[in-house]
Amino acid sequence: MNRTEVTEKIMTAKVRQGLKWADVAARVGQSKAWVTAACLGQMTLTKDQSAVVGMLFGLTEEEQQWLTIPPYKGSMPTGIPTDPLIYRFYELVSVYGTTFKDLIHEEFGDGIMSAIDFEMDIRREPNPNGDRVKVTMSGKFLPYKTY
């Protein structure tokens, strides 16, 4: 058994039961973004969180244990994603990569935005010309250490 099999089992149960991530998140008591990533095999759950998820999706004791082990992360089957929705995010990195870099350096100096001490939110932004997807990211700035 491995974490990938647990993820696939969760996905199958979710389709069959017609559950929504928003509901799963409410039950787990964390944000939608984090809970979804966790169920999709990218984050580590506590024993309690994994019990909730296990109950919702009908996981065995052992499958729940896998959810508490830090997984080998990376959710895309290829380095450059083929799925159009995910590709658009990759395209933003491709087109705006040097812009991210220059503006963060201009504001903070040399360093990075952490992808670990990080949180994210995705929500609907109503708009008469067509609703918009609003993504807000917040990551701690980590300056390069001089030594």
One of 5, 8, 75, 91 is an active-site residue; which one? 91
Closest to a second copy by CB, 23 or 55: 23
Nearer to a second copy, 27 or 81 (CB): 81
Of residues 11 through 50, those in contact with a second copy by CB under 8 A are 11-12, 15-16, 18, 20-22, 30-34, 36-37, 40, 42-44
What is the footprint of a second copy within residues 107-136 (CB under 8 A)? 107-120, 122-125, 127, 129-136
**Quick check: helix, strand or coil at residue 100?**
helix
Q: 32-39 and 21-28 are packed helices; what angle lies between their axes, rounded to 10 degrees?
A: 100
Q: How far apart are CA 59 and CA 68, in angstroms?
A: 13
Among 26, 55, 58, 102, the residue binding a second copy under the rule CB under 8 A is 102
Whether 88 is catalytic = yes
Please list, in sequence order, all residues whose beta carbon lies within 8 angstroms of the beta carbon of residue 108, skipping any fewer than 6 positions away.
Answer: 141, 143
Cβ proximity to a second copy, 58 vs 96, nearer residue = 96
From the list 10, 52, 77, 128, which residue makes contact with a second copy (rule: CB under 8 A)? Answer: 77
Q: How far apart are the C-alpha atoms of 110 and 106, rounded to whole Å?
A: 8
How many residues does this entry show for the chain? 147
Task: Look up 8 and say whether it is catalytic.
Answer: no
Is 58 near a second copy (CB under 8 A)? Answer: no
Per the CB < 8 A criterion, the answer to whether 111 and 100 are in contact is: no
- What single DSSP character describes residue 4? H
Q: Which of 16, 88, 123, 132 is catalytic?
A: 88
Active site residue 50: no
